[in-house]
Amino acid sequence: KLRSGWLRHPPFPPGPLPRFLIGNFHDLPTRLPWVTYTKWGLQYGDLVHASALGQHIVIVNSVETAIELFEKRSHIYSDRPVVPMIELTGWDFNIGMMPLGDKWRQHRTMFQQHFRRDVSLNYRPVQMKKVYQLLQGLLDDPQDFQELLKTLAAASTMATVYGYEVKPSNDRFVALSENAVKKLSDSFLPGAAVVNAFPILRYMPSWMPGAGFQRVAAECRQITEEMQKVPFNFVKQNMRDGVDSTSVVAKLLEANQARGRSDDENVKQMAAAAYAAGADTTASILGSFFLAMALHPDIQKKAQIEIEASTGAHRLPEFEDRPSMPFVEALYREVMRWKPPVPLGVAHATSEDDIYNGYFIPKGATVISNIWAMTHDEAIYFEPDRFNPDRFFTADGKLNSDDTVLAFGFGRRSCVGRHNADAIVWAAIVSVLLTFDIAKAKDANGNEIEINANYSDGLVSHPEPFICSTTPRSETAKSLVQATKG
């Protein structure tokens, strides 16, 4: 056992010089932190240490180190940091933010039962139906493509988890969740964030000056509760009416009944977590796909030719076509590499002291997987900022073996919805490419409108709203989309 007192342990990994008491509080970036952390990686190495107000932060900037720590030493690196605001806002229902323990294990098992690779195949018909709705939406209202992508992301999860059909706009379940997510991010804004730095503040009553976060937290708790309850009750009602036995929630509840267990609370929480984890991430990557296509017509054309060759252009693609389209596969990998939706992953934490390569990583340290740095590592991906699916081919034109999508994270906490996400993203890419051309929009004088490819901050980073033109590729393409309405 290590003693972590002054000079009784090996040095921390290298990093920016801490200041007295506050450590690196002022060095920690607030805007696009993954970019700063990637620069730190180049300066200090794979593993960078910083500290802020007594909290140790370790940033992992390379795939090899991520595998060493998160996978080979997963017994140490699979916890989550304690963030008081998460509990105060009621978001600790969410497996993604739970500390390791029985409850996390129970939720992870439910997820695995219903989202592992073979079970995910059952959701394909629903996923395709949702992709068809996207195509129909693009035909009717192409300017609204970003809303349509959000709807697809929300609707595919809502349909599998709750058997619920999301409305194309102003859906009340979607509004509930968006509201809860927004409240959570608001609660991380400066005023409230103080409680995360000084956990003791949580015990301050809400009427005390500086304790405004208590009010924010109480509001948030109520909305968070509702986002779990309302769609869950919808399933229970449907089960009573005998109209739902296939949604994930219905299956879990039936299994509980059969075993004589009443564990509704965990099922309710697991379902809401699936939605919260899946909606924003999927919408972000689909937005990046549209962006990449508008910026790179030549790459788009190459993919379209491949899809047409495979489907014959007279039918829409199906999941079974996937192996016959290596360029589309490379394009999918490249979107995930170019703009990973969760650029810093979800922070892990250590549950024991550890020594790695002679450096000391204390128990309770926040360990960040800088996915951005890994997918933009120049040594592996030449000109990493360039969108170039060809990088996934070998010299003799075969898809290479680089098929681990780093955007899904690492080890025991890696994305448990990845098979679902993979299917929906692939299906959307291939179906949109066969039927539509995505291009820069033109102004009244026929000049192309340049696209600002900026991305938002936050746990999930999105392309900021941009304009592009989405037009049906031909009359045949149009009728293919119209036929999906039947």
Tell me which residues touch ligand HEM (CB under 6 A): 95-96, 108, 111, 115, 157, 273-274, 277-278, 281-282, 285, 341-342, 345-346, 348, 369, 407-410, 413-417, 420-421, 425
Burial of 8 (0-12, 13-18, 19+ CB in 10 A): exposed
Least separation in angstroms between residue 113's CB and ligand HEM is 13
Q: Is-contact 32 341, C-beta < 8 A?
A: no
**Dihedrals phi, psi of 281, to nearest 5 degrees:** -65, -45
Could you tell me the CA-to-CA distances from 262 to 243, 248, 360, 414, 421 in Å, in that order?
Answer: 21, 16, 45, 29, 30
Q: Give the residue with the Cβ less far from ligand HEM, 117 or 485.
A: 117
Least separation in angstroms between residue 171's CB and ligand HEM is 18
DSSP annotation string for 285-326: HHHHHHHHHHH-HHHHHHHHHHHHHHHTTSS---GGGGGG-H
Least separation in angstroms between residue 335's CB and ligand HEM is 9
Q: Give the residue with the Cβ less far from ligand HEM, 216 or 271.
A: 271
Least separation in angstroms between residue 157's CB and ligand HEM is 6
Q: Is-contact 306 327, C-beta < 8 A?
A: yes
> Rounded to an integer, what distance in angstroms lies between the CA atom of residue 165 and that of residue 170?
13
CB closest to ligand HEM, residue no? 417
Least separation in angstroms between residue 97's CB and ligand HEM is 7
Q: Give the residue with the Cβ less far from ligand HEM, 344 or 468.
A: 344
> Rounded to an integer, what distance in angstroms lies between the CA atom of residue 220 and that of residue 140?
36
Q: Is 415 annotated as a binding residue?
A: yes
Contacts of residue 147, Cβ cutoff 8 Å, sequence gap at least 6: 169
Contacts of residue 215, Cβ cutoff 8 Å, sequence gap at least 6: 206
Least separation in angstroms between residue 116's CB and ligand HEM is 11
Least separation in angstroms between residue 139's CB and ligand HEM is 25
Q: Give the residue with the Cβ less far from ligand HEM, 284 or 470.
A: 284
Angle between the N-to-C axes of helices 326-338 and 264-295, in degrees from 0 to 180, rounded to the nearest 10:
100
Q: Give the residue with the Cβ less far from ligand HEM, 85 or 270.
A: 270
Question: How are beta strands 55-60 and 366-369 bridged, if at all?
Answer: parallel
SS3 call for 47: strand
Q: Give the number of residues written for the chain.
A: 486
Q: Give the residue with the Cβ less far from ligand HEM, 296 or 348.
A: 348
Q: Give the residue with the Cβ less far from ligand HEM, 214 or 269.
A: 269
> Rounded to an integer, what distance in angstroms lies between the CA atom of residue 24 and that of residue 454?
27
Least separation in angstroms between residue 156's CB and ligand HEM is 8
Q: Give the residue with the Cβ less far from ligand HEM, 213 or 426.
A: 426
Look at the alpha carbons of 327, 449, 446, 441 in this order and tell me if their dihedral is positive or negative: positive
Q: Mark the binding-site residues for heme, compressed into ranges.
A: 415
Q: Mark the binding-site residues, compressed into ranges.
A: 415
